[in-house]
Amino acid sequence: MNLPAHAGARIGALILVCTLYSALAEAQSDNAAQGSALDPIVITATRTAQPLDRTGSSMSVISADDLGTQQLAFVSDALAQTPGLSVTREGGPGQLTSVFIRGAETGESLTLIDGIRINDPSAPDGAPVLGDLLVNNIDRIEVLRGPQSTLYGSDAIGGVVNILTQRGGPQPFIGTLEAQRGTYDTYRLNGAAHGSIDALEYGAAINYYDTAGVPAACTCDGNTMPAGYRNFGATANLRFHASDEISIDLRGFYLKSHTDIAGYPPPNYTLADDGEFGRDQLVAGYAGINGSWLDGHVTQRIALIASDSDRRFYGEFSGTPPYTLTPTQNFYAEGGSTRLEYQGVLSVDPDNQLTYGAERQLSTIDTASIYDTTPAPITGRDRLTGYYGQWQSTLAQQLTLTGGVRYDEDQQFGDHTSIKLAAAWQIPDGATVLRANYGDGFKAPTLYQEFSSYSDPLATLQPEKAIGWEMGLDHDLLDKKLRASLTYFSRTEHDLIDFDDCYTSDPGCALRPEGYYYNVDRVSVRGVETGLLARPAPGWSAWLNYTSLRAIDELTGLSLPRVPHVTQNAGLSWSNQGTSLGASYGFVGARFDDAANFTPLSSSENVSVFGSIGLGSHLQVIARVDNLFKNRSEPAAGYGFVGEAFYAGLRLTL
């Protein structure tokens, strides 16, 4: 019997819910303490290690076990399962990928890997390189939702994604090798190691991914050419303890990719697979010195962080019909960022802590396109300096109050002040935490928006500004094996930067007939996040979450493009000594592809199953099936989808 895609996916979700209920009911008699798994120690909310219950913020933590059990290849696949987040990928693996945190544009959220910002300074919106970010040697991913500019400065309107790789450990060497092959002639190879040798803690990984891919443009429009993709990446994370007080950190991140892309070939100039391709490279490094004195009451850190990005696209049509595509470079963008950070922490006692710091960042861009009105290379630079301070106090072991302020000065647009207030109250019953917070966010105009041939000819671009607040509660059940969460959030943005395509005449179009970036009025986002997270028994993990939000352009009253009103996720997994089994369900609701709300996108559902079989203590056979019920919904108008896919391989632990 053939079931419709949506019907099959809903049956799969129902099975997950029923199985979760049964597992929790069975686990009520299990007295194993699981509270630490539901209230982890996190660092992103306050930039210091804190129990999640004390932060007053909405956060999700994706663990190494979660990533390994589900055999996820891309970080964006893990983020898509998180409350308040939605992911859009324009086609198959490697294509442009956007992550919307509570409706914020992908460039309005900050992504870090081991303290290194991977938001691309050369990208038009400053978005991170999420389409190329593979899972390997990750210890955990912390997702902090809501405006966070007090501690993180620009680019943190939607929130912060903090990826922390594994480093150190109880042994000199812990290694993993993984090889997997699957549908669309896909294979990936991962190698990772971490451990401690005397005074050195280390972690390192390399990964390679290759696929023939699926058409980048939708097959529904007659496209049949697969869009191939190759990716090589590496990370390194070292800490040397020079003494009891001083340690030195060295970290690095590298990726290089080749992606076949869709273009707009003549004579129709409609989206189609035409042989164009792009090459991306990102190199980043971190060098820091840490100090700890007075039995840890005073800690300080100073670090130099640098990154260099290089994006190039190839393909130019020439001649007369039928036209000839030559692999000529048609666009390049090189971006650089050099950042100096200082942070100090004064711990008066376990319940009172002051965090303070200063940061300075210099960003540069060099870009050119054969299609620009001024095809000659355009360069630009900007310097941003920030100072921040935050105080946190816990009263009577129940109420934690946090307050912070930040001052930023930008070379281009001037100064900006951000504040943050948060409260978390653990009710004396020990099972309920009430939390609330208020925060500012801002995003400086990107270098491309400021200096390219599409800059505003009439006025200096101003930073996007946001005010956000939320209130919610977390409640533990079944001996802290199940946590239920409910959060209401609201965010208002002013001076949002948009692109005027000059389809209608205005004064700026006389100077920029191809279009230009400009500040528009405001956007409002309001919504509710609900979730259940369970560790009902050793080896079991389960989650359910539901997000409903409205993201509205208040100038037009229309919905923001590609932001779904509803997202839902569910999953259940079990693992024991190398053998595992699980399934996940994801739903993305209806939305519009464009700001004018002319092009609707239908809802989509996806069910995946995954499992492994342990062959001894060091070897596993792993397998995963994606899109089990063959969802065919377009992720973005005109772009292709990934159909049912099967992957299998081996994982060796050393």
- Phi, psi dihedrals of residue 459, rounded to the nearest 5°: -155, 160
The whole domain housing 475 covers 5-221+245-653
CA distance 439 to 52: 18
Tell me the mean pLDDT in the region 229-239: 97
CA angle (399, 533, 434) in 5-degree steps: 20
Residue 36: the pLDDT is 53
The pLDDT-based confidence of 93 (bands split at 50, 70, 90) is very high
Q: Which of 3-7, 281-285, 569-573 has the lowest mean pLDDT?
A: 3-7
Does any domain span residue 519?
yes
Does any domain span residue 168?
yes
Give the H or E element holding residue 355.
Answer: strand 352-369
- Phi, psi dihedrals of residue 411, rounded to the nearest 5°: -60, -30
CA distance 258 to 256: 7
Residue 323: the pLDDT is 79
- The C-alpha R_g of the chain, in whole angstroms, comes to 24
Q: Per the structure block, which two tokens stand in for 196?
A: 């401690």
Tell me the mean pLDDT in the region 473-490: 94
Give which of 578, 570, 576 is closest to 539, Cα–Cα.
576
Instruction: Identify the CATH number of the domain in which residue 384 sits.
Output: 2.40.170.20
- Assess contact for 237 and 251: CB atoms under 8 A: yes
SS3 of residue 287 by DSSP:
strand
Tell me the mean pLDDT in the region 169-180: 96
Residue 313: the pLDDT is 95
CA distance 367 to 331: 8
Residue 14: the pLDDT is 47
Tell me the longest C-alpha to C-alpha distance in the chain.
79
Residue 428: the pLDDT is 86
Judge whether residue 585 has pLDDT over 90. Answer: yes
Tens of pLDDT, residues 366-375: 999 888 777 7
Q: Which of 119-133, 183-197, 232-246, 297-311 has the lowest mean pLDDT?
A: 119-133
Question: Cβ atoms within 10 A of the Cβ of 338, count?
Answer: 15
- Phi, psi dihedrals of residue 194, rounded to the nearest 5°: -155, 160
Give which of 68, 190, 196, 202 is closest to 141, Cα–Cα.
68
Does any domain span residue 238?
no
Tell me the mean pLDDT in the region 230-238: 97
Cα→Cα distances 79→173, 233, 507, Å: 30, 19, 42
Tokens 């992911």 -> residue: 87
Residue 32: the pLDDT is 33
Residues 6+ apart with CB under 8 A from 174: 193, 194, 195, 653, 654
HSE-CB of 205 using CA atoms within 13 angstroms: 26
Residue 21: the pLDDT is 44
Does any domain span residue 631?
yes
Residues 6+ apart with CB under 8 A from 243: none
The pLDDT-based confidence of 544 (bands split at 50, 70, 90) is very high
Tens of pLDDT, residues 325-342: 888 999 999 999 999 999
Does any domain span residue 233?
no
Residue 1: the pLDDT is 40
SS3 of residue 67 by DSSP:
helix
Tens of pLDDT, residues 216-230: 998 888 888 999 999
Counting beta carbons within 10 angstroms of the beta carbon of residue 565, is it exposed (0 to 12), middle (13 to 18) or buried (19 or more)? middle
CA distance 101 to 80: 10
Residue 324: the pLDDT is 82
Judge whether residue 280 has pLDDT over 70. Answer: yes
Q: Mean pLDDT across the chain, nearest whole number?
A: 90
CA distance 428 to 419: 29
- Phi, psi dihedrals of residue 487, rounded to the nearest 5°: -140, 135
Does any domain span residue 240?
no
What's the one-letter identity of residue 73?
A
The pLDDT-based confidence of 10 (bands split at 50, 70, 90) is low
Give which of 305, 303, 387, 389 is closest to 345, Cα–Cα.
389
Residue 220: the pLDDT is 83
Residue 318: the pLDDT is 79
Give which of 215, 212, 211 is closest to 223, Cα–Cα.
215
Residue 31: the pLDDT is 36
Residues 6+ apart with CB under 8 A from 611: 579, 580, 581, 582, 622, 623, 624
Give which of 86, 59, 81 is closest to 69, Cα–Cα.
81
Judge whether residue 460 has pLDDT over 80. Answer: yes
Domains held by the chain: number: 1
Which of residues 511 and 30 earns the better pLDDT score?
511
Q: Provide the CA 485 distance to its chain's centre, in angstroms.
A: 21
Residue 37: the pLDDT is 67
Tens of pLDDT, residues 181-232: 999 999 999 999 999 999 999 999 999 999 999 999 988 888 889 999 999 9
Question: Cβ atoms within 10 A of the Cβ of 106, count?
Answer: 23
Beta bridge partners of 442: 465
Give which of 603, 590, 444, 572 is closest to 15, Cα–Cα.
572
Counting beta carbons within 10 angstroms of the beta carbon of residue 49, is it exposed (0 to 12), middle (13 to 18) or buried (19 or more)? exposed
Does any domain span residue 548?
yes
Beta bridge partners of 471: 436, 488
Task: Quote the pTM value.
Answer: 0.92
CA distance 109 to 131: 15
Look at the chain and count its residues: 654
Q: Can you list the alpha helix ranges (DSSP code H) found in 191-315? A: none
- Assess contact for 540 and 505: CB atoms under 8 A: no
Give the H or E element holding residue 562.
Answer: none
Tens of pLDDT, residues 283-293: 999 999 999 99
Does any domain span residue 234?
no
Tens of pLDDT, residues 20-68: 444 444 443 333 333 356 788 999 999 999 999 999 999 999 999 999 9
Judge whether residue 131 has pLDDT over 60. Answer: yes
